[in-house]
């Protein structure tokens, strides 16, 4: 296969830069505590300074993998598939989710929403970033909004983002892991004063699992 042919397949979503895949427990947000199979797609230019998977940023470091093979492997483990990144919406998610839905599984995505929404999703977890804000469609369709709290200014940003999602979207505040001891008491106080929000924790890190 030539480089051009490979790029055409990538552009169509038939090849995706697969960083890693694993079966584990969802650690965050609405579905925390449930078993799911994670598919981590490489490639992200949003550039969060506190990102804990910076090795996902450069797509060229991760092998272009046939979408069909990703699907065939994923459905062996779980009926809930969570696509994460990197930023998965960098790529066309249509072929991946079409094949997953054909297998009768639930499709979830974790995204910053910075790129146009593609694919068919049963659950959209939107975690917006200041550097590159979500598209209007992702705001409208998000099932949960997860705002990461790194410093005091992030509470204001979280409120700005909450004003843009639908009234049915579940709202979460989650401490950035390295700042959890400092920010967690502030998050607790904030949620108690503003009960439309819920607290999200990275429970998988406390459990020492992927």
Of 140, 170, 149, 190, which is closest to residue 50 (Cα–Cα)?
149
In this predicted structure, the answer to whether residue 198 has a pLDDT above a threshold of 90 is: yes
Q: Is 107 annotated as a binding residue?
A: no
* Confidence (pLDDT) at 1: 80
In this predicted structure, the answer to whether residue 47 has a pLDDT above a threshold of 90 is: no
The Cα–Cα gap between 28 and 119 comes to 22
Q: Is 51 annotated as a binding residue?
A: yes
The Cα–Cα gap between 175 and 151 comes to 9
Q: Is 169 annotated as a binding residue?
A: no
Instruction: Name the band, by pLDDT with cuts 50, 70 and 90, for residue 10.
Output: very high
Q: Is 86 annotated as a binding residue?
A: yes
Of 128, 199, 133, 124, which is closest to residue 169 (Cα–Cα)?
124
Q: Is 24 annotated as a binding residue?
A: no
In this predicted structure, the answer to whether residue 206 has a pLDDT above a threshold of 90 is: no
Q: Is 27 annotated as a binding residue?
A: yes
Contact by Cβ (8 Å): 13, 95: yes
pTM of the model: 0.95
Model confidence pLDDT, tens digit, residues 133-179: 999 999 999 999 999 999 999 999 999 999 999 999 999 999 999 99
Q: Is 180 annotated as a binding residue?
A: no
In this predicted structure, the answer to whether residue 205 has a pLDDT above a threshold of 90 is: no
* Confidence (pLDDT) at 130: 94
In this predicted structure, the answer to whether residue 127 has a pLDDT above a threshold of 90 is: yes
Model confidence pLDDT, tens digit, residues 62-89: 999 999 999 999 999 999 999 999 999 9
For each of the domains in the chain, give its residue range(s) and CATH number, in order of start. 14-206 (3.20.20.70)
Average pLDDT over the chain, rounded to an integer = 95
**Which comes out higher in pLDDT, residue 205 or 36?**
36
* Confidence (pLDDT) at 49: 80
* Confidence (pLDDT) at 51: 86
* Confidence (pLDDT) at 50: 78
């Amino acid at each position: 296969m030539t480089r051009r042919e490979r790029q055409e397949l990538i552009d169509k979503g038939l090849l995706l830069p697969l960083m890693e895949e694993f079966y584990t427990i969802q650690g965050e947000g609405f579905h925390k505590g449930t078993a799911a199979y994670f598919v981590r797609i490489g490639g992200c230019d949003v550039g969060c300074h506190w990102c804990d998977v910076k090795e996902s940023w450069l797509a060229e470091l991760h092998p272009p993998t046939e979408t069909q093979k990703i699907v065939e492997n994923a459905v062996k483990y779980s009926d809930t598939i969570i696509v994460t990144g990197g930023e998965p919406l960098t790529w066309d998610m249509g072929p991946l989710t079409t094949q997953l839905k054909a297998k009768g599984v639930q499709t979830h995505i974790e995204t910053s929403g910075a790129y146009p929404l593609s694919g068919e999703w049963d659950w959209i977890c939107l975690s917006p970033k200041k550097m590159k804000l979500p598209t209007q469609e992702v705001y409208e369709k998000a099932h949960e909004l997860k705002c990461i709290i790194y410093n005091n200014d992030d509470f204001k940003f979280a409120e700005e983002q909450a004003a843009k999602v639908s009234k049915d979207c579940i709202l979460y505040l989650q401490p950035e892991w390295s700042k959890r001891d400092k920010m967690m008491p502030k998050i607790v106080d904030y949620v108690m004063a503003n009960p439309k929000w819920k607290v999200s924790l990275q429970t998988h890190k406390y459990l020492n699992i992927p």
